[in-house]
Chain A
Amino acid sequence: MDYEVPSIWRTMQAKGYSRREFLFFCGVAVAAAGLRANGLAQVVEAFESKPRPPVVWLHFQECTCCSESFIRSSHPIVADIIFDTLSLDYTETLQAASGFQAEKTRDETMKNNQGKYILLVEGSIPMAGDGAYCMIGGKSSEQILKEAAEGAAAIIAWGSCASNGCIQAAKPNPTNATPIHKIVNKPVINVPGCPPIAEVMTGIVTHVLLFDKIPELDSQGRPKEFYSRRVHDTCYRRPFYDAGLFVESWDDDAARQGYCLYKMGCRGPTTYNACSVTKWNANLSYPIQSGHGCIGCSESGFWDNGPFYQHLGAFPGFGIESTADTIGATAAAVTAGGVAVHAAASAIRKRKLVNIQRAEAEKSEAAREQKEAAPEQTENDGGEEQ
């Protein structure tokens, strides 16, 4: 039962990696975790001495795009090593074991590594129908998650499903899909995105491995190093935006010239992600570079913020075509109409009043003229001549 956990370097040696490859991996880890070059020694030391942490990777309501993204990390060696070194003790998608055997592995990993294993969660938790919408091995997702979260050293929520519910949570959210940070009462690292960028995922795992603690998070639980800027802030089309040069329709000349996609519904200005810096597919490109606006996949509730090809979202309760502007313009028109009606009514109803006032004023004016002509004859008893 006693479980001697080797270090990452030992594990790599056992798998046949050379020292050179190990150092290369450490170098990449330094970059991925956002350390300075002089952090290399620290990383090498950590990976030589620290026991390699076991990992439990749970899958609930999801499409596995996060796993797909992760295994396509741009440095194959990093992905390999992370997969080899993080002993992925349990992950439904990739493990060889199945059935009772698989469940047993998970339970054992958790038991033998209380307070030490890293818990990665992909997918949201259906809370409706007593959790019947997603059950594994006779247990509800909520049960499995709570058990696993109990002894975890760190919990990472992969992707938008686990961080904010994603498409399952889109209105009307029939299964009551719930992000995990609302269920476990421990700090959760949210890594939203549909899927998150592979390099962001490896970067965060590396950070946790290296420092044994969670990276600095923002108010929504996202690691600041990757989610503190909007896609828009570092978008290479930004100069077009600032110059007011926009694509007006999908195949116009502006689109061919690579103008900003703001008016085509690009969500870059409201989306916090590293796409425009880290890019996708080994730093090859990202949606905007391929001519399509950002759909804001890492923002909570992005499925309900559509339509994707319209700059302003649809306004809730007023139909898919109506934006804030439709409603505002209608309100302004109604107001202007109301003002016109009121003005007309006032002209009729208050005319008499105004006419009386005018007549009084005229009378008073006449009286004053008279008084100026012959002051002593006025009836005004407040006059100075008394």
Chain B
Amino acid sequence: MATARIATYQKMYVWELPVRIFHWLNVLAILVLIATGYLIGAPQKIFDAAEPSQQYWFGIVRFSHFAAAYVFFFNYLFRLYWGFVGNKFAHWSQFIPVTKQRLKEFYEVVVVDILHIRNEREVGEGHNTLAGLSYFAAFLIFLFQAGTGFALYSSMSDSFIPSLFAWVVPLMGGDAWVRQWHHIAMWFFIVFTIVHVYLVIYHDWVEGAGETSSMISGWKFRKDESDDAE
């Protein structure tokens, strides 16, 4: 026992460039959408002295909301597509636990990371099952948000995409209700962001696999298990 072994790390390419671009565009779009959406729901008293002919700020807030919504929507569609052609970490099956192994992981994540009943588990490379499932739920809410948003927009636009969602309005009992649900779903995005950012930091700290930077560089790190076998 002269010296300790040297831990070597494997460098693994997990998030492909398109996935990373999707992620950060999504971040940008969501931040703009939350900020402008909140203001549309609860406009603040900002410029009060000027004449209406001299300013258009609420119009700009709304315009930004609609523009960001289009970015968000197409980005989302692109990600769905990438779920079929991307690498295995981007694959749709990462988001829906279909195999026994993934169900086991689900259980372990709950026990180890959420409830802290046990302290360690085998850490995989991509999304863990619980995270994957929560992104799946998020994707459904993304769709809900896009659908209700375009439904509200359809009455003031002649373009094709909003008109696809016009049927949502009578279904939900009128614009007032669509708007209400669209607004409550915004809070889901806020809650999701809080939890998401926290958990990224948590995993990075506990697992030391480079969780945070992986969404910029694409690489994650994993301790070489063959070393431990020594």
**A174 at the B interface (CB under 8 A):** no
**B124 at the A interface (CB under 8 A):** no
A339 contacts B47, C-beta separation under 8 Å: no
**A313 with B176: in contact, given A220-B170, A332-B187 (CB under 8 Å)?**
yes
**A243 with B176: in contact, given A312-B183, A335-B191 (CB under 8 Å)?**
no
B191: chain A residues at CB < 8 Å are 328, 331-332, 335
Checking B41, B58, B116, B175 against A270 with a beta-carbon cut-off of 8 angstroms, the contacting residue is: B175
B41 contacts A368, C-beta separation under 8 Å: no
A315 contacts B52, C-beta separation under 8 Å: no
Interface residues of A in 305-344 (CB under 8 A from B): 305, 311-313, 315, 324-325, 327-329, 331-332, 335-336, 339, 342-343
- Docked Cα-Cα span, A324 to B50, in Å, equals 31
Using an 8 Å CB-CB cutoff, how does the interface string of B1-41 with A read, 1 for contact, 0 for none? 01111110000000000000000000000000000000001
Which of A44-52, A65-73, A375-383 lies at the interface? A375-383
Output the least CB separation between A172 and chain B (Å): 16
Checking B52, B169, B177, B179 against A240 with a beta-carbon cut-off of 8 angstroms, the contacting residue is: B52
Interface residues of B in 166-197 (CB under 8 A from A): 166-167, 169-170, 173-177, 179-180, 183-184, 186-187, 190-191, 194-195
Which of B83-91, B135-143, B202-210 lies at the interface? B202-210
A305: chain B residues at CB < 8 Å are 174, 176-177
Checking A239, A245, A313 against B180 with a beta-carbon cut-off of 8 angstroms, the contacting residue is: A313
**A84 at the B interface (CB under 8 A):** no
- Docked Cα-Cα span, A270 to B3, in Å, equals 74
Output the least CB separation between B89 and chain A (Å): 24
**A244 at the B interface (CB under 8 A):** yes
**A248 at the B interface (CB under 8 A):** yes
Output the least CB separation between B185 and chain A (Å): 9
Instruction: With CB as the reference atom, state the residue of chain A lying closest to B3.
Output: A367
Output the least CB separation between A86 and chain B (Å): 31
Instruction: With CB as the reference atom, state the residue of chain A lying closest to B206.
Output: A350
- Docked Cα-Cα span, A254 to B47, in Å, equals 12
B42: chain A residues at CB < 8 Å are 311-312, 325
B206 contacts A354, C-beta separation under 8 Å: yes
B120 contacts A353, C-beta separation under 8 Å: yes
Checking B46, B51, B53, B119 against A244 with a beta-carbon cut-off of 8 angstroms, the contacting residue is: B46
**A327 with B184: in contact, given A349-B119, A378-B3 (CB under 8 Å)?**
yes
Residue in A229, A230, A245 whose Cβ sees the most chain B Cβ within 10 Å: A245
B46: chain A residues at CB < 8 Å are 244
Number of interface residues of B (CB under 8 A): 54
Output the least CB separation between A259 and chain B (Å): 8
Q: How many A residues are at the interface, by size bracket?
A: 35 or more
**B78 at the A interface (CB under 8 A):** no
**A241 with B190: in contact, given A301-B173, A353-B120, A353-B206 (CB under 8 Å)?**
no
A336: chain B residues at CB < 8 Å are 194
**B98 at the A interface (CB under 8 A):** no
Instruction: With CB as the reference atom, state the residue of chain A lying closest to B194.
Output: A335
**A117 at the B interface (CB under 8 A):** no
A339 contacts B194, C-beta separation under 8 Å: yes
Output the least CB separation between B90 and chain A (Å): 27
- Docked Cα-Cα span, A69 to B159, in Å, equals 36
A242 contacts B7, C-beta separation under 8 Å: no
A243 contacts B175, C-beta separation under 8 Å: no
Output the least CB separation between B36 and chain A (Å): 12
B180 contacts A367, C-beta separation under 8 Å: no
Interface residues of B in 49-75 (CB under 8 A from A): 50-59, 61
Output the least CB separation between A270 and chain B (Å): 4
A245 contacts B52, C-beta separation under 8 Å: yes
A379 contacts B174, C-beta separation under 8 Å: no
**A132 at the B interface (CB under 8 A):** no
B6 contacts A350, C-beta separation under 8 Å: no
B4 contacts A366, C-beta separation under 8 Å: yes
**A279 at the B interface (CB under 8 A):** no
Query: What are 5 A-B contacts with C-beta separation under 8 Å?
Result: A243-B53, A243-B57, A299-B176, A311-B42, A364-B5
Contacts A312-B41, A332-B191, A343-B198 aside, 11 further interface pairs with beta carbons under 8 A come to A243-B58, A244-B58, A245-B47, A270-B176, A300-B173, A301-B174, A305-B174, A305-B177, A328-B184, A342-B198, A360-B7
Which residues does A use to contact B, with CB under 8 Å?
219-220, 229-230, 233, 239-246, 248, 254, 262-263, 267, 269-272, 296, 299-302, 305, 311-313, 315, 324-325, 327-329, 331-332, 335-336, 339, 342-343, 345-346, 349-350, 352-354, 357, 360-361, 363-364, 366-368, 370-371, 377-380
